[in-house]
Structure formats: C-alpha cells, structure tokens
A = this chain, B = another copy of it.
Amino acid sequence: MQPAFLTRPWLDAVREEFERYLADKISGMTGVSAELHQAMQYALLGGGKRLRACLMFAVGDAVGTAPAALMDAASAMEAMHAYSLVHDDLPCMDNDVLRRGKPTCHVKFGEATALLAGDALQTTAFQWVLESSLLADSIRLQQAAILAAAAGAQGMANGQAIDLTHVGRPMTLDQLKHMHARKTGDLILAAVRMASASRSGLSSQMQSGLEDYAKTLGLAYQVIDDILDVESTSEQLGKTSGKDALSNKPTMVSLMGLSEAKQLLANLRSTALKACERCGVDERHPMAILVDLITDRKS
C-alpha cells in the first residue's frame, strides 16, 4: 500500500478538523451535570498539542486509513491523556497549579469535581472507541483492548505508581527509562497500535517499523521534556518549569548530563526516521514530520 506523500499543511489541517470534531463530541454529550461537563471540557479542550491524535492520523495514513475513520479512536486517546493529566495535577499527586498556561482543573473546579472529571474522561475514552460507528466491531474491540492495556495497572497507571515509590529516592537510568516507558511511552505506543489496528495484513517489516517508531518517539518525548524543564521558563512551557530539579526528582538530564541528553535525543531522532523508512514513508510524510515536531518542540 503506497501512502500519500503529504506535508506539514496536511497535518495542520487534520489537527484542526480533529479539534472541531473533539469539541463537538464532548460538548454534544447529553445528560451530564453542568459542573462535571464543564470540567471535562476544560480538561479536554485546553489547547493540547494533540500529539497522540496526530500520531494516529499519520500512522493511519501510512497504513491506508483515512483520518475520518480514526476520529473517534483519536478522541478516545486524547480523553485518556486528559484524564491522566487532571489526576496527575491533583494535590495528592504533583499538586500542580498550571497546565497548558491555565489553572489546572482542580484549581478551577475544586478537587472533587476534578477527580470526577478525570474519572469520567477515562470512561468516556472507552465509550468513544466502543460506540464508534467509524470502524468495524473487531477493530474497535482490538483498539479498546490496546487502550486499556496501555493505560492500566501494567501501563500508564503503573508508571505513576513507580514515580510515587521513588519520591526522594535515587533511580538508575534504566529504572527511569522503565518508569517513563510506562508513564508516557505506553500511551504513545497505544496511539500507534490503535491506528495500525485499523488495517489487517500489514507486513512484518511495517509492524516492526511502527513499533520501533513508537517506542523511540516515546523516549524522545521524555528526553525533550526533561531538557525543556531545565532550559525553559514556566511561561514558555505553559506549566511550572524547573519542578523536577527543585523536588530533586531524577530526570534524563540529571542522570545523563545535559549534553549527553541532547546527544541521545539526536540519536533517537535518527532512529525514528529510519523506522519511518521501514514503514515505507519518506521524510515528507506526517510520520516523519512528527519526529521533528517532537524532537524540536519548545513547550
């Protein structure tokens, strides 16, 4: 299957279309109490980069699935991500007050409503995949299972738990990588897998290329996050910067050093671009453009 060779404007257009789709989807939910509904919309529509959704559309394109067919699955992915941020920001977790340049959900709506909004966003994620009419039953079942495995006690939630366990305790580089693979990597991998699950019969080269692409990007995402935490202001990030250093949390930068972390990032970029080649897409394809967007991001 020959993927379309598309450039950055395609990605921007798809993201804009998705943003409208997502806004309509969440605002169109009926039978939700006003306060809960507002908190869910605030958390979900707060101006995120939609990295995970864009990954799904880019990979979808590479395997021959149009963005329109992946709108619900991408909405689910972003709802799952939004839930994790709301709960991660709560006072008993990171106790953060700033997210995407705005007050965090619990600062705006109170802790109880933020807790519920996070809870409900997780459920909504599953609802959206499971109730979608855009893809066949068997594909949605697979996508929902991928999402559950990535978000749960063996994935994202486990990453958070590992993080908690190590507060104030040293961590090796391997332990740190393992924590991030669970905390952020698994959901990024799930985005790629959910998109590729929309097509059956992919070649083993394509499949392994997609897995490497996703895992490499997941790690790169964290490395750049840790670099930004050191090099950027809160204003640039839209969230509190320098927190990790202040709280003495181990990061890729603190364990490797800044220049080594930057070198690692460059290596990961090149590995991810090679994985794109194995997926049969060149450097103009959205999958490759996303590699640059992630490794060059400023916030």
A residues with CB within 8 A of B: 29-33, 35-37, 40, 83, 87, 90, 92-93, 110-113, 115-116, 118-120, 122-124, 126-127, 130-131, 137-138, 140-141, 144-145, 148-149, 151-154, 157-158, 160-162, 164-165
Contacts and interface: CB of A to CB of B under 8 A. Distances in A.
Contacts of A141: 130, 137, 140-141, 144
Contacts of A153: 29, 32, 36-37, 40, 120, 123-124
Main secondary structure of the interface of A (DSSP, over half): helix
A32 B165 CA distance: 12
6 contacts: A31-B154, A35-B164, A36-B158, A87-B115, A120-B152, A140-B141
A83 B152 CA distance: 13
Contacts of A124: 148, 152-153
Residue with the highest number of chain B CB atoms closer than 10 Å, among A29, A119, A141, A151: A119
Contacts of A83: 119
Residue with the highest number of chain B CB atoms closer than 10 Å, among A90, A137, A158: A158
B113 A127 contact: no
Nearest to A36: B161
A124 B122 CA distance: 12
A30 B123 contact: no
Contacts of A162: 33
A33 B141 CA distance: 27
A92 B127 CA distance: 26
A110 B90 CA distance: 14
